[in-house]
């Protein structure tokens, strides 16, 4: 898999009773493909995978694979703070036919660097699909060191990192030390172009849920050498990006999609609807961008 361009961190739509809305999931995937999205990422942070059962996870992967039908890449979040669980989920999704697996750092346990390298290696050794490690210390309470990323980048199955620390110095250092086949994609929409300027190849994006075309245009402008356009798009959408993170992700983006008439349903507890003042502020920003 060539990990570059715009990959959407897709929300998981729910029915009013909290069950997964598979018909809507199909519609959202079609919306993304029509917008030019290079790949779909399901069961990530934005997909609320932490509140879903293993059976629901597999059903989402099956639905996504059937809907995509080879038209773009599919990456499934299969990480866990239990290495055995991560292996089990990764092997299952690999057998279903995903292109890639997104593995978050083992949260809560807070393993040392040796343990984390062993964790990712143990999963990568068991699958045929490409593996992307996911560094988001603000969520997990732990972070991969530069040296750990360097070591993991040498594994033939580990092809890249979703880097969501927001630390540009860290991005520069892993870009300097990682092996040639190893891709860096931004996990923060507000610094997609800066990360690409430091050696990144694209983004796994929350913004793309509502603006797939703009996210594609931004990343591909940069990949095609048009820095001026890429920078202009990054700055143009900055206010919207900030609005989509005024509360914890994915609350604002789901609210935005519902306001846009996409009817993606509620969150699962402990996530719930936005605070009223935040919702009004979000509506104003969506109107400014002519999304509602």
Give the residue numbers annotated as catalytic, written as ranges.
134, 162
Q: Quick check: helix, strand or coil at residue 13? A: coil
Residue whose pair of structure tokens reads 């199909």 in the numeric block: 26
C-alpha–C-alpha distance, residues 258 and 14, integer Å: 12
| Distance separating alpha carbons of residues 73 and 3, to the nearest angstrom | 9
Q: Are strands 73-77 and 158-163 parallel, antiparallel or unpaired?
A: unpaired
What does 19-74 look like in DSSP terms, one character per residue? SB-HHHHHHHHHHHHHTT-SEEEESSTTTTGGGS-HHHHHHHHHHHHHHHTTSSEE
Of 167, 78, 176, the closest CA to residue 130 belongs to 78
Using alpha carbons, select from 40, 56, 6, 7 the residue that is nearest to residue 268.
56
């Amino acid at each position: 898999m060539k990990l570059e361009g715009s990959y959407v961190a897709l929300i998981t739509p729910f029915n009013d009773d909290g069950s997964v809305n598979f018909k809507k999931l199909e519609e959202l995937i079609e919306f993304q493909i029509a917008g030019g999205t290079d790949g779909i990422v399901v069961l990530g942070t934005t997909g609320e995978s932490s509140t879903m059962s293993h059976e629901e996870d597999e059903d989402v992967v099956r639905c996504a694979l059937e809907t995509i039908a080879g038209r773009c890449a599919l990456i499934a979040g299969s990480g866990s703070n239990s290495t055995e669980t991560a292996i089990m989920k990764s092997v299952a999704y690999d057998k279903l036919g995903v292109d890639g697996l997104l593995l978050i750092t083992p949260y809560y346990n807070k393993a040392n660097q040796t343990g984390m390298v062993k964790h990712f290696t143990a999963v990568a050794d068991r699958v045929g699909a490409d593996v992307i490690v996911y560094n988001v210390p603000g969520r997990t309470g732990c972070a991969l060191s530069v040296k750990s990323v360097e070591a993991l980048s040498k594994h033939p199955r580990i092809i890249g990192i979703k880097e969501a620390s927001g630390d540009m110095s860290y991005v520069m250092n892993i870009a300097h030390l990682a092996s040639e086949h190893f891709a860096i994609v931004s996990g923060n929409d507000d610094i997609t172009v800066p990360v690409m300027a430091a050696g990144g190849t694209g983004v796994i994006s929350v913004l793309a849920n509502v603006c797939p075309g703009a996210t594609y245009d931004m990343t591909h402008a940069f990949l095609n050498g048009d820095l001026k356009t890429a920078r202009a798009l990054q700055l143009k959408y900055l206010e919207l990006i900030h609005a989509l993170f005024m509360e914890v992700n994915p609350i604002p983006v789901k609210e935005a999609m519902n306001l846009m008439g996409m009817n993606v349903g509620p969150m699962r507890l402990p996530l719930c609807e936005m605070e009223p003042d935040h919702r009004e502020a979000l509506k104003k920003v969506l109107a400014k961008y002519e999304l509602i």
